Amino acid sequence: MGVVYFQGLVASCVDRIPTIRVVVLCASVSVAFLFIVLLYGLYNVFLHPLRKYPGPLLWRAYRVPYVISIHKGEIHRRMKDFHRVYGPIVRIAPNELSYTDGTAWKDIYANRTGHLTFERNPTWFKKMEPTEPMSIMGPDEEAHARFRKAFSNAFSEKSLRDQAPLIDGYVDAFITQLKVPVSGGRWTEKTVDLVRWLNYVTFDISGDLSFGESFDCVKNGKAHPWVETVTGFGKGLVLIASLNMYPPMEKLLRYVIPKHILKQHIDFRAMTAAKAEKRLAMDTDRPDFVTPTKKHSDQKSAITDQEWAINMMIIVFAGSETTASVLSGILRELVQNRGVLSRLTNEIRSAFETEQEIKIASTGNLSYLNAVINEGHRLCPAVAIGVPRVVPRGGDSICGQWVPGGTYVAVNQFAANRQLYNFHNPNSFIPERFLDSKHHTDDMSTFQPFGFGRHSCIGMKLAYAEMRLILARLLYAFDLSLADDKDRWDWGQQKTYILWEKEPLKVTLRRSGKS
Ligand code: HEM
């Protein structure tokens, strides 16, 4: 009986040998893989050329925690905490350093005599397809220089003066729409989501200056399909960037992006190309971004139709989402800080006799308004995380310390602006810090909301002009208050996918005695 049982056991083991072999093989491969992963992490922590830089252990060892964090939309908060703990230079991935020191702006983003250029990090700016044209935001420095030259006239002081009546007109339409009484009744008060309305007006302006026609978001009280699509791009860009961080995985891109998103992308491209083509076909000298650029392009370096389309798309987006975002942040801070709101409202209402006097040209010199805008930029920077660059071959020094070639480096604005070692009361909204720098120790060299160097924002003057005008018109026409007084929170609590995923800002508007 015992012999029979033993024979049966042996026979069943022999039968299972292939299965056992597979299991053993898989286990060995897994152990080997884990061992390699462990060795890789140990190498990054103890032997890598960046080993001397401080940072959280797992982040120094592997890129995965960074990728998880950008997908959760919380990278800006993690970096703020890391910089508080580890100081102004933090290693946030095996091959990436984050900076919150003002000197890093010059070292990373400016042209330094005798130094090679720190180019844009292709992980974030890579083309989706090889046939895709280059753009002003792309990593190719030669193409960038060509586009920057071509578009720079469209953003000069003179162009802004020419464009001013069109912008004044859009802001006027925005205020008029907000004044429309609820359900046709008499005006008492009205609650609106300012985040939505600010997006409408900024996209209408950028759309008109780029495509020669409005998106009519303000007129219709809702987002145009082009605007709806483009404002949803952030998460897609984060997905693309994180796959690009693992080079063989990028080949999977086409397969991991859902078919309907790919189709939406293709339709969006076609819609943009059609809009750009329509504007270019217009025989007009209208004061917009296209007229001066086209003149330059016709005389010097021709811009192809495809290049026009991608650059116009970028400019419309870069010029509206950012401006709307900072304005939303400023207005949230204002309604949450009644003292500042009241001082600013007084400044604006005493500077003008009538609403019609408030124009781009007349709002430039209101000192408290400018301080409020800067403080809003500091607490709610449109570009919350750094726009990354790559250290050139051979390495270079940043903030006096050597960094090997190929390292990804960036100044992270949200983290930098919220550090006690850069600004006193870093999380409080105190516009006065921009009025009189003698009384405190703020390090204003860290504050660069429009970037630095050859890639710094081409639309900075326009952005300031729009923000001043919109804020002045709003505060002149309305008394503003939070619709729900408990709806108070810090701007940084929101998620970021390159740009902010903005929560609504429900504000009650009451017609002021002035309008
Ligand atoms: C509050 C509003 C704005 C903020 C905070 C902002 C911020 C920035 C920043 C930080 C950069 C630098 C990117 C880098 O270093 O790689 C940038 C670049 C750029 N911005 Fe803005 N921007 C704003 C408004 C605008 C407007 C109104 C336009 C145009 C209509 C615009 C068009 C661009 C373009 C085309 C670039 C790329 C410039 C280049 O690489 O040469 N931006 N912006």
| Atom number of ligand 1 nearest to Cα 320 | 27
- DSSP conformation class of 183: G
pLDDT tens-place string over residues 193-244: 999 999 999 999 999 999 999 999 999 999 998 888 888 777 777 777 777 7
Q: Is 210 in the pocket of ligand 1 (CB under 6 A)?
A: no
Query: Distance between terminal CA atoms of the chain?
Result: 105
Q: In sequence order, what DSSP letters do the residues of 6-69 get, joined into one string?
A: HHHHHHHHHHHHHHHHHHHHHHHHHHHHHHHHHHHHHHHHHTSTTTTS---HHHHH-SHHHHHH
- Whether 351 is in a domain gets the answer yes
Residue 6: the pLDDT is 59
Backbone angle region of 406, left / alpha / beta, with phi > 0 → left and psi within -120 to 50 → alpha = left
For residue 449, the CA-to-ligand 1 centroid distance in Å is 9
Residue 69: the pLDDT is 94
Residue 13 annotated as lining a ligand binding site: no
User: What is the torsion angle, in degrees rounded to the nearest 10, for the CA atoms of residue 406, residue 408, residue 409 and residue 414?
Assistant: 180
433, 440 contact by CB (below 8 A): yes
- Whether 444 is in a domain gets the answer yes
In the chain, the number of structural domains is 1
Tell me the residue range of the domain where 223 lies.
Answer: 57-511
pLDDT tens-place string over residues 10-39: 566 566 777 888 888 889 999 999 999 999
- Whether 291 is in a domain gets the answer yes
- Whether 447 is in a domain gets the answer yes
Q: Is the ipTM of this complex over 0.90?
A: yes
Smallest CA-to-CA distance from 414 within 438, 452, 371, 382 is with: 382
**Residue 259 is part of a domain; what is its CATH number?**
1.10.630.10
- Whether 469 is in a domain gets the answer yes
The residue whose CB lies within 8 Å of the most ligand 1 atoms, and thus the one to mutate among 160, 457, 491, is 457
CA angle 279, 283, 287 (to 5 degrees): 70
For residue 137, the CA-to-ligand 1 centroid distance in Å is 9
Mean pLDDT of the chain: 91
- Whether 24 is in a domain gets the answer no
Q: Is 384 in the pocket of ligand 1 (CB under 6 A)?
A: no
pLDDT tens-place string over residues 379-434: 999 998 888 899 999 999 999 999 999 999 999 999 999 999 999 999 999 999 99
393, 408 contact by CB (below 8 A): no
Residue 123: the pLDDT is 81
Give mean pLDDT, residues 88-116: 97
Backbone angle region of 86, left / alpha / beta, with phi > 0 → left and psi within -120 to 50 → alpha = alpha
Beta strands 396-398 and 119-120 are unpaired
Helices (H), 214-365: 217-220, 225-231, 233-244, 253-256, 259-281, 290-299, 305-336, 338-351
- Whether 39 is in a domain gets the answer no
Residue owning tokens 């950028």: 206
- Whether 25 is in a domain gets the answer no
Q: Give the Cβ contact number of residue 56 at 10 Å.
A: 16
